Amino acid sequence: MTPTDNGNGTTGNGAHGNGKGPNGDGRKKQADDDKIPEAGQRVAVNAGTRFGVGMPVEKSENFKSTVRRLLHRLAPERMRIAAVLVFAVVSVTLTVIGPRLLGHATNIVIAGISSPKGIDFGELHTVLLRVLLIYVVAGLLSYTMSYILAGTVQRSMSKLRGDVEDKLNRLPLAYVDSQPRGDLLSRVTNDIDNVAQSLQQTLSMMLTS
């Protein structure tokens, strides 16, 4: 059966017109082969499409230098940071001891049930009061740690804002005109706020963990 001419030089349902001929199958196979990576070939993966809600994964350009500058910025607050470290260690230690004492109270109840003398409520009350005291002290230490840490971070960021303001006053007008609109404002406001929030959350989690 001869293919019909559509009037524009192409065939309607021939072997080459519908893509099922040798050339059509070859092009499809070639396209499928291009999608399959070879052994050892790196494939670009968008890591932020599922859990990162489309946000790209970013890495620090100079992590070591940034950490050194950040530690230098926090150096005047080292005594308060040391106090925060001590409070965190004691608070976590007391929080870990609490369940052990509660287990001892449970043993007193079980032993009293199986004993003809019954439950020793005096000893049980003593153990429960110790547990209550431990959790109250742990909570106070945790609150004090968070309070001191928040003040430490905010004072450091206040000094950083002052340094940024002095730097902006020294910049020539030509530099300001050459920057994208809103870029300098974003550095002064959003970036410093992000640093303060990250410091407060990261230091607290790092110490307690």
Long-range pairs of 164-173 with CB within 8 A, sequence gap ≥ 24: 164/188, 164/192
pLDDT at 87: 93
Per-residue pLDDT of the chain (209 residues; tens, 9 = 90+): 444 444 444 444 444 444 444 455 555 555 455 545 454 444 444 444 444 455 555 676 777 888 888 888 888 888 998 999 999 999 999 999 999 999 999 999 998 888 888 888 899 999 999 999 999 999 999 999 989 988 998 898 899 889 988 988 998 988 888 888 788 888 888 888 888 888 888 877 887 77
Asked if 177 and 208 touch (Cβ cutoff 8 Å), the reply is no
User: Per the structure block, which two tokens stand in for 98?
Assistant: 């609490």
Helices (H), the chain: 22-35, 63-74, 78-114, 121-170, 173-178, 183-186, 192-208
Predicted pLDDT of residue 49: 45
pLDDT at 181: 76
Tell me, what's the pLDDT at 128?
94
Give the pLDDT score at 1: 47
188 and 164 in contact (C-beta within 8 Å)? Answer: yes
Interhelix angle 192-208/121-170, rounded to 10 degrees, is 150
3-state secondary structure 42-68: CCCCCCCCCCCCCCCCCCCCCHHHHHH
pLDDT at 116: 83
Spatial separation of the C-alpha atoms in residues 158 and 75, rounded to whole Å: 14
| CA dihedral for 188, 193, 196, 199, sign (positive or negative) | negative
Residues in the chain: 209
